[in-house]
Amino acid sequence: MGGCEWDHLRTEERNGVAFLRQVKTRLGPRYMALRARDRHSLVIRGGSEATARSDSLTRVYENLVLTYLASLLYAYPYGISLGPAASIRVTDVLGLLCVLLGGAALLLRKGVRIDPVFLAVMGPFVFLELATPVIGAVGYRQPLAAVSSLRIAILWIPMILLTMLAAQKTEPRVERKMRLLLATTLCLNVSYALVQIAVDLGYLPDWLAFTRFLEPWAVDRQFEVIEGLRPAGFFVKTTALSVFGIVCLCFFYASYAANRMQADLHLALMSLFLVVLTTSRAGYAAAALILGIGWLSLTGRKKVIVLLALGLAGSAVLLAIDATMGIERMFHRFQRLAESGLLADVSFGQRVTDIWPAALAAASDYPMGTLISAPRIAALIDSGYLNYYLQGKWVFIASITFMLVCQWLIGLRFLRDPLARGGALMILFLASYLTVGMIVTNPLRSPVLIFFATFAFWKLKTERAGLRLILSRGATH
């Protein structure tokens, strides 16, 4: 079996200007076999009627999902409280609309595209997230407990439906729009986080931290505009801002490693700066792991560029911090950790000696797990792994372990494949963060991370299928 000559679009940069160049590439039998295999991805065929209407509806749905993502980035904390057990968020309306419109588009589709890799890796975990609260609500006769399942559904389902409905050739368009949305939100959050810190230090008037005025409409009990010098940006609290910063780092750093665009490197550095502002120790550890893995995947020249950029940016940030608030004040949480040790640290030590044992004691009363959302039983858990252990015991832990192991394997498997480099790096970075971050937080309940995880698998599938390549003459030479 011979190879095939293709024209493909390569991103290049000259004199600081990024552009696309069409380059002929000789693809050998290995790639042709891979493409033939990917043509047999799971497709459920339907009728052939209303195809044009379905395509138009899919385009509308694509824009609606991205609008929903924008609302999650800015308005997720706010809504109407219905008591201690339930609330209606502003974003819930758009989420339900996405589910309804996506369902309608699904009925009109000629064929539904299902990614078997995403289904196998993420499916068991997502199923348990959706099913256990409903089972618990029925078993405990607490109907309101099923609300958490509904909210999880409207976080996962819209993006999943988009990957099922949209043709894979539309993924680059969705990626461009998502990139613009993330870049804009990143810049705004960095700016607002600096404003929040300046307000707390007394350099700016209080009214500039305007999200404080929205606190009466916040439905999250842990809503904090700023915790000491730890800003929350437009999110619920500092931890959520750190998750957003890590997701942006994963997205832009993977894009830089795959495409070599300087703009992506600049945005990756800005994402890292946002994580630095949060002083989240889990965020710092995850960012260091992501930077290390990404650096190893770069060529020699790009490795030097990244090291120089990190060195210069880091020095500038440290000088600015020292001139304004002082290094010790900014990083007192790390100094405290160095002086007292990990187990004696106020934050981590309290988890180990008080919070986690209390949560485990509560779990002993539920042989099959709480089934309903674990924070209803143990108000404070502070660990993603422990949260899911309480909710579904070892079944949930097994699904998470399987998911993380598969993400690591998939990311490493396709890391050296130039046709799947971007998606593979995104999945690998995601696995790195989840492995570390879930020790003391629960990023798997973050709306922006849920969108990113689903998109990363879609991107990998698209790249593997070669749909970014354009067949030049359709002939085999």
Residue range 315-325: mean pLDDT, rounded: 76
Q: Residue ranges per domain, the chain?
A: 1-40, 41-470
Among 208-217, 291-300, 390-399, the range with the most confident prediction by mean pLDDT is: 390-399
Per-position DSSP letters for 34-84, written without gaps between them = HHHHHTTS-EEE--STTHHHHHHHHHHHHHHHHHHHHHHHHHTTBEEE-ST
Residue 328 confidence (pLDDT): 67
pTM of the model: 0.83
Whether residue 100 is predicted with pLDDT greater than 80 in this model: the reply is: yes
At 1, is the pLDDT very low, low, confident or very high (cuts 50, 70, 90)?
A: very low
Residue 109 confidence (pLDDT): 73
Residue 281 confidence (pLDDT): 84
Give the distance, in angstroms, between the CA of residue 13 and the centroid of all CA atoms in the same chain: 28
| Long-range residue pairs from 409-416, CB within 8 A, at least 24 positions apart, any chain | 410/117, 410/121, 410/460, 414/460, 414/464, 415/297
pLDDT > 70: what percent of the chain?
75
Summarised one tens digit per residue, pLDDT across range 246-294 is 999 999 999 998 887 889 999 999 999 999 988 888 899 999 999 999 8
Summarised one tens digit per residue, pLDDT across range 46-73 is 444 445 555 677 788 999 999 999 999 9
3-state percent breakdown (helix, strand, coil) of the chain, nearest 5: 70, 10, 20
At 477, is the pLDDT very low, low, confident or very high (cuts 50, 70, 90)?
A: very low
Among 4-18, 93-107, 224-238, 372-386, where is mean pLDDT lowest?
Answer: 4-18
Residue range 120-146: mean pLDDT, rounded: 87
Residue 267 confidence (pLDDT): 95
Q: How far, in Å, CA of 437 to CA of 444, rounded?
A: 10
Whether residue 35 is predicted with pLDDT greater than 50 in this model: the reply is: no
Backbone angles phi, psi at 230, to 5 degrees: -105, 105
Whether residue 111 is predicted with pLDDT greater than 60 in this model: the reply is: yes
What is the SS3 assignment for 472?
coil
Amino acid (1-letter code) at residue 284: Y
Sorted by sequence, the CB contacts under 8 Å of residue 256 that are 6+ apart come out as: 262, 264, 265, 268
Residue range 396-414: mean pLDDT, rounded: 93
Summarised one tens digit per residue, pLDDT across range 151-174 is 899 999 999 999 888 877 788 889
Residue 248 confidence (pLDDT): 96
Q: Token pair of 116, please?
A: 């078997």
Mean pLDDT over the full length of the chain: 79
- Of the candidates 214, 294, 209, 198, which has an alpha carbon nearest to the alpha carbon of residue 246? 294
Q: Cβ of 16: how many Cβ atoms within 10 Å?
A: 7
Per-position DSSP letters for 197-210, written without gaps between them = HHHHHTSS-GGGSG
